[in-house]
Each structure stands twice: as C-alpha cells, then as structure tokens.
C-alpha cells in the first residue's frame, strides 16, 4: 500500500516511530543475512542459508505479536523474525562461526536453526514441517491453561506438502487453537517450483478444507502483512481459532550456500523477482511519505552496520565449543 | 494390598499422577469416552474432562508431535499410540525431534513426555503382522530416548510413575499379552521403580538369562524346568532397554559365566546383540561358554495362523532347549 502525506501517523495503526523501527528491523535482518553470506564466501562460515526477500513477511508478522509473551516456532529463513522477537545479530554470528556462545544451539546445529527459550523461540530441527505439530501442541497448552498467548509456526510452501502440515492444520482447526500458520511462499523448494508442489494457486486456498480462514497477502508489502497478521492474532487471542496466512515472498538468494539458483531459474525470472524486494519498496514508501527524512535511511543503515560489525568482532574473538562438552545434555543432568 | 492386573496398574498410575500434577494430560486415539481400546485410560475422561484426556484424530505423527509441543510449553503429556505397530509415522517426531530437543538446544529446551504403546504378540494373541510387533530396538538405538518394557503389574505402575516424572522422553511399551493375564499385589500408594535398573527375578549360579517384557515369564518357566535337573538359571528382567543396567548385567554374567539373552523381537540387530556385546567386552575372562541369543526369526513379524505363529514365538520349550544347549557347553 502507498503511504501518503495525509496518513503520516496511524498507518495500519502504527506510529511513525514504529514504522521506522519496522524498517530498521527489516534492514538489520537483510544486512545481517548479507554478512553471514560474506563470511561463508570468505570460507569462515561453513554454511549459510538466506532469508533475503522474506523480510516484509517476517517483520509484518513479528510486529503483530507481543514480544516475550507470544511464541514462534520458526524455520531456517526467519532471520528477521527472530530479530523482531528479541534475538541479536551477535546470536546469529556466533552460530554462523560455530562458537560456544551461540544461544541457538551452542553450535551443535547448523546455523539458522533459531532457538531462544528466553524469547519464546522454539528450537527446531532440519526435517521440514515437524514444527507445525509442535506449534499445535504449544497452542493446546495455552488453551488448557487459559492463557491468551498466540503461537506462530512458519514454513515454506514446499513444507506444506508434508504430512505433518496436514495433520497439524486439521488438529488446530478441530480444537480452535490459538495458532497461526505462516507460509512464506517464495515459489521454490530448492529448485522445485510451486507448480510441482501443489495444484492450487495459493496455499491459503487449502484452508477451507480444514475449516479455518485462509489469507493470501503480498509478502513484499510489510504493512499488508502486518494488517493480515494482526487480524489473525486478534482472532486467535479471542479464542477464534487458527489462521492459515500465506505471504508471497521472493527468494533473492539461492536456497543455501551450497546452491546456485541461476542453474534452474531464468535470468528474466531473477530480474523480475528483484523488482519485488520488500525492503526497497518499504523504504521508498516511507521516504515518499516523509516518515523517513532525507538521509535517514542511510543513517539507519550505518547504525545497523555498526551493530553487525561490533557483533562480528565479538563473535570472531569468541571461543569454539569445548570438546569436553560434546557428550553433555543428551539427557537432563540432575 | 489389592491384586490388580497390568492394565489396571497402568490406569492407576495415570490417574494418580493426573490427580497429583495438573500438567499431566493424555492424548491418543479412543483414549477419551471409550477409555482406550485396551481400557488403559478407562475413567480418566470422566474424571479429568476433555481438556486433559484428548481423543485425537487418527494421526500418529500428530499424536506425538502435538505432545512434543505440549511438553515444550510446560505440560507433561502422555501420548498413546494404539498399537506399537502404528508408530512408524511418528518416528520422525520421536527420533528427529523429541530425542534431540535437549541436545540440539544445548539444554535450553527439554521434552518431558511419555509415549505409551501396547506391543507384542503370541500364539493366542492373533495380532498378526500389524498388531504384534516388538519394535523396541528401533528406539533403543537413539540417544535421547529412554525405553521401558515392564513385565508385571508392580513394575508397570512404578515405572510409569517414574516415566511421568522423568525430564526426558520415555518410550513405554506395554506387552498386550500381559494386560489381563496376571494379577499381582500392587500398593495403592505411590512408589517409583527407577528407569535403567534391572531386577533379578530368580537367582541362579549356572546361567544368566537376560530378558524383558512378556518373555520374562517364559524364561522363568524354562528355568524352573532346568532347576529339576539341578541347573540353576538366573533370570534377569532388564525392565529398561535404554539405558541398560550395565552394572547388573556385568555382575550377573561375571558370576555365572554363561549368558543367554532372550527376547520376542526379531533377533538380528536387536537388544540382545547389544547385551551380548557388552558381556563380551566386559566379562570375557569370566565367560565359560559362548554368549547366546534367542529371539524372533528372520520374518517380518508374527503371522496370523497359529501354526505359523508357533514358528515365530519363543515359548518356554524353545527357551529351555537353548538353555540346556548352553548349560551343556
């Protein structure tokens, strides 16, 4: 949506400060993601997986949640979402460089397996869509305890082909649980296009089959995502049950540092995709409506870069995990 | 003390713990109004309500996966899989998720839950290929899980209470042949049988037979037969197959010098192989014969017809024959 001079405050119910903060979080996610990829190409980070192009979807949803109250069960592209929920650039740089202080997993998992109990960010594995069922269980616990918390589970459109996806949506709808299933649909599961993943145009079309609302939204429009997510969150919090929220995203980078999407996507397709960069679009909207003053975007960028530089310096100096700890925490230690 | 059946002991443990701890909930197919296809949850729905005794959709991965989510959010869920044979769809949730949650989060998260499932068959159970399997070895292979197979009502209650208070995921496999076949005095009050500890069911000086589940009773019958010929078999009920009671196994094997491992599950790459390897590594000097095993043959599971089922199942006579072979060595 376009922002106008006449709606400088209260756009989507958001203040100017909040809108600037959204832009800052999207940009911080983007720059941090870029830094991890650079570290990978320098041979310092063994593996990287990118969320570039998903920032609008993630920040839009994240801002609809209550931080340190609501829960998320993210997947591997959610670098911006976990920043919104309270994690720091240093947390992901420690993970990228496999340092002991990595709060996600103590460098036991590959990077981008986001986790922080402190921030209600649930640990995940690498099998796709298993987290959908965990979110349903978390929501079941909220309902049982009479809490008005909400949990968001995220997944790519490829993950919606898994059985756990189906079982989870079915269960959540039966019990009208406070869970939002966010599908970050970037059109590709590694190299396989959506047309070979499903026969429907929108993942959200399937919601009717489960008996829950399904909403498709342009993930390139952070405020549209915020609005749709806020509706879903309000419904869930009021006991109105789950929502299937699909955000159309672009995958600006390849699937992972071990992939090259130029091998299976045309140059035209890649060029067209870049025209839908959510970050550029939001900046232009904020600048044209004077919510970002001239030069303010650059200033925010410098602040983000400094934060990342400091975090990297800290991560560079941090120790690797002590091999004596490798055998710990298979089971609880009394 | 009242005499109760194995399935009543399971139900009593669930009911007592649900009264004590409102974090305990039960999830599974038919566990609600019906009280479970074997009656293990009878009366729980009526006492604790639909919020705590949840009739799930027919979806095993969801039963376990939703239970994991409940555990992550601070509950103490019990997931019932109606027959162990139907657990494979939930293997991803158990092996990739539940078993790894503590390790992969560096102790930030944990997954305290119990997965209950009836298992096992026999000549007269008529469960055939998909209502009789013993799949414990699949889970015993996985660090992060604990695997318990009680052989009697007393242990069933005490081990289930221990499992419900354990900080990690416990696979609790109940032999359906035991559910109503025996009664035993079981205390009304609470008691715990520790996970990871075996028990000497019958002491003996000549052979150690390590076993668990329903096979314990077949081994005892065989041991009594050998006793009439002055061959004394020590019968050890392992009770837990992960973690194994290594101290007890090594102590008993060292004392008798001869070892047979007996289990209903398929022999190859089974729990018996692990016990045999442990004995070979730790008790080599004390051994007075080859470590032997007896278990299910190289067919997928127990066939339906009694004449075919006989081929799969152990029973006291086959075990006795193997014990005599070992005694004569």
- Residue ranges covered by each domain of chain B: 3-185, 199-327
Residues 6+ apart with CB under 8 A from A115: A103, A104, A105, A121, A122, A123, A124, B104, B105, B108, B109
The DSSP annotation for A94-159 comes to HHHTT-TT-TTTTT-SPTT---BGGGTB----SSTTHHHHHHHHHHHHHHHHT----EEEEEETGG
pLDDT at A11: 74
Per-residue confidence (pLDDT) for residue A6, from 0 to 100: 46
Q: Is A120 on the interface with B (CB under 8 A)?
A: no
Burial (CB count <10 Å: 0-12, 13-18, 19+), residue B212 = buried
A178 confidence band (pLDDT: 50, 70, 90): very high
The pLDDT, as a whole number, for residue A9 is 52
Q: Which of residues 229-268 of A touch B (CB under 8 A)?
A: none
* Nearest by Cα to B245 from B267, B278, B222, B270: B278
Predicted pLDDT of residue A5: 46
**Is the Cβ of B230 closer than 8 Å to some Cβ of chain A?**
no
Candidates B59, A80, B93, A35; CA nearest to A72 is A80
Tens digit of each residue's pLDDT, chain B (329 residues):
889 999 999 999 999 999 999 999 999 999 999 999 999 999 999 999 999 999 999 999 999 999 999 999 999 999 999 999 999 999 999 999 999 999 999 999 999 999 999 999 988 888 999 999 999 999 999 999 999 999 999 999 999 999 999 999 999 999 999 999 999 999 999 999 999 999 999 999 999 999 999 999 999 999 999 999 999 999 999 999 999 999 999 999 999 999 999 999 999 999 999 999 999 999 999 999 999 999 999 999 999 999 999 999 999 999 999 999 999 99
- Whether B274 and B244 have beta carbons less than 8 Å apart is answered as yes
Specify the pLDDT at position A3. Answer: 53
Per residue in A186-209, pLDDT (tens digit) is 999 999 999 999 999 999 999 999
Taking CA–CA distances from B50, the nearest residue in chain A reads A144
Residue of B75, B99, B104, B168 to mutate, testing the A interface (most A Cβ within 10 Å of its Cβ): B104
Is A264 annotated in the active site?
yes
A2 pLDDT more than 80: no
- Report CA torsion sign: B125, B128, B130, B134: positive
User: Confidence band (pLDDT; 50, 70, 90) for A93?
Assistant: very high
| Identity of the residue in B70, B71, B96 whose CB atom sits nearest the CB atom of A130 | B96
Domain ranges (residues) in chain A? 18-317
Burial class of residue A275, CB neighbours in 10 A (0-12, 13-18, 19+): exposed
Model confidence at A1: pLDDT above 60: no
Q: Is A168 on the interface with B (CB under 8 A)?
A: yes
Which among A75, A56, A73 has a CA at the least distance from the CA of A250? A56
Give the pLDDT score at B124.
Answer: 81
Chain A, chain B: beta-carbon pairs less than 8 Å apart: 134
Whole-number average pLDDT of chain A: 96
CATH classification for the domain delimited by B199-327, as one of 3.40.50.2300, 3.30.420.40, 3.40.50.280, 3.40.50.920: 3.40.50.920
What pLDDT does residue A8 have? Answer: 45
Residue B310, number of CB atoms within 10 A of its CB: 13
* Residues linked to residue A243 through DSSP beta bridges, in sequence order: A180
H/E element holding B184?
strand B183-185
pLDDT category at A113 given cuts 50, 70, 90 is very high
Query: In the predicted model, what is the mean pLDDT of residues A62-88?
Result: 98
**The tokens 């009543």 sit on which residue?**
B8
- Separation between Cα atoms, residue A270 and residue A280, nearest integer Å: 16
The answer to whether the CB atoms of B103 and A125 lie below 8 A apart is: no
In the DSSP assignment, the letter for residue A319 is: P
- Confidence check: pLDDT of A48 > 90: yes
In B91-120, the residues whose Cβ lies within 8 Å of chain A are 92-93, 96-97, 100-110
A105 near B CB under 8 A: yes
- Report CB contact under 8 Å: B70, A109: no
CATH architecture, range B3-185: 3-Layer(aba) Sandwich (3.40)
pLDDT of residue A235 exceeding 90: yes
Question: Which residue on chain B is closest to A167 by alpha carbon?
Answer: B62
Look at residue A104 and tell me whether its pLDDT is greater than 90: yes
Other CB atoms within 10 Å distance of the CB of residue B126:
14
- For residue B72, the chain A residue with the least C-alpha distance is A138
The pLDDT of residue A10 is: 60
For residues B186 and B12, the answer to whether their CB atoms sit within 8 Å is yes
Which residues in chain B touch residue A333, judged by CB atoms under 8 angstroms apart? 107
**What architecture is domain A18-317?**
3-Layer(aba) Sandwich (3.40)
- B3-185 and B199-327 have identical folds: yes
In angstroms, the CA B254 to CA A266 distance is: 70
Confirm whether pTM is higher than 0.90: yes
């Amino acid at each position: 949506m376009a922002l106008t001079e006449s709606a400088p405050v209260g756009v989507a119910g958001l203040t100017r400060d909040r809108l600037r903060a959204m832009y800052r979080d999207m940009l911080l996610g983007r720059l941090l993601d870029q830094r991890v990829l650079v570290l990978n190409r320098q041979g310092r980070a063994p593996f990287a997986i990118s969320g570039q192009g998903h920032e609008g979807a993630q920040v839009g949803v994240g801002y609809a949640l209550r931080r340190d109250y609501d829960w998320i069960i993210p997947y591997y592209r959610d670098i911006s979402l976990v920043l919104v929920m309270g994690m720091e650039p240093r947390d992901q740089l420690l993970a990228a460089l496999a340092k002991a202080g990595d709060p996600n997993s103590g460098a036991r998992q590959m990077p981008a397996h986001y986790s922080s109990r402190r921030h209600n960010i649930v640990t995940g594995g690498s099998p796709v869509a298993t987290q959908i069922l965990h979110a349903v269980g978390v929501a079941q616990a909220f309902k049982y305890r009479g809490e008005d918390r909400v949990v968001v589970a995220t997944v790519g459109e490829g993950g919606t082909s898994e059985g756990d996806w189906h079982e989870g949506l079915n269960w959540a709808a039966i019990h009208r649980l406070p869970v939002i299933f966010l599908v970050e649909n970037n059109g590709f599961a590694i190299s396989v296009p959506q047309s070979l993943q499903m026969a429907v145009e929108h993942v959200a079309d399937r919601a009717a089959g489960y008996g829950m609302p399904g909403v498709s939204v342009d993930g390139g429009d952070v405020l549209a995502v915020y609005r749709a997510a806020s509706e879903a969150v309000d419904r869930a919090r009021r006991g109105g049950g789950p929502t299937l929220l699909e955000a159309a995203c672009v995958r600006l980078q390849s699937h992972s540092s071990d992939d090259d999407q130029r091998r299976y996507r045309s140059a035209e397709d890649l060029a067209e995709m870049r025209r839908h960069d959510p970050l550029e679009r939001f900046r232009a909207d904020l600048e044209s409506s004077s919510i970002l003053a001239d030069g303010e975007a650059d200033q925010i960028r410098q602040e983000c870069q400094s934060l990342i530089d400091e975090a990297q310096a800290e991560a560079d100096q941090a120790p690797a995990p002590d091999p004596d700890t490798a055998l710990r925490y298979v089971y609880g230690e009394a | 003390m009242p005499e109760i059946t194995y399935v009543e002991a399971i139900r009593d443990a669930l009911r007592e713990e649900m009264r004590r701890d409102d974090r305990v909930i039960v999830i599974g197919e038919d566990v609600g109004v019906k009280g479970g296809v074997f009656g293990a949850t009878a009366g729980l729905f009526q006492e604790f309500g639909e919020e705590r005794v949840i009739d799930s959709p027919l979806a095993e991965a969801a039963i376990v996966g939703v239970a994991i989510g409940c555990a992550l959010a601070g509950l103490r869920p019990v997931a019932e899989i109606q027959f162990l044979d139907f657990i494979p769809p939930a293997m991803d949730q158990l092996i990739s998720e539940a078993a790894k949650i503590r390790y992969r989060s560096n102790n930030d998260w944990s997954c305290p839950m119990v997965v209950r499932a009836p298992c096992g068959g026999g000549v007269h159970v008529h469960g055939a290929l998909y209502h009789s399997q013993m799949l414990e070895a699949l889970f015993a292979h996985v660090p992060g899980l604990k695997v318990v197979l009680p052989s009697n009502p007393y242990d069933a209650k005490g081990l289930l209470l221990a499992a419900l208070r354990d900080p990690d995921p416990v696979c609790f496999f109940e032999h359906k042949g035991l559910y109503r076949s025996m009664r035993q005095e079981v205390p009304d009050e609470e008691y715990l049988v520790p996970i990871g500890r075996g028990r000497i069911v019958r002491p003996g000086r000549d052979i150690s037979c390590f076993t668990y589940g329903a096979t314990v009773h077949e081994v005892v019958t065989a041991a009594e037969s050998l006793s009439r010929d002055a061959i004394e078999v020590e019968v050890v009920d392992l009770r837990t197959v992960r973690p194994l009671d290594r101290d007890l196994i090594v102590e008993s094997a060292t004392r008798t010098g001869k070892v047979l491992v007996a289990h209903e599950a398929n022999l190859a790459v089974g729990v018996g192989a692990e016990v045999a390897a442990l004995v070979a590594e730790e008790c080599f000097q004390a051994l007075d014969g080859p470590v032997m095993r007896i278990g299910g043959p190289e067919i997928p599971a127990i066939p339906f017809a009694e004449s075919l089922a006989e081929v799969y199942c152990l029973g006291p006579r086959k075990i006795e024959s193997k014990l005599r072979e070992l005694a004569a060595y």
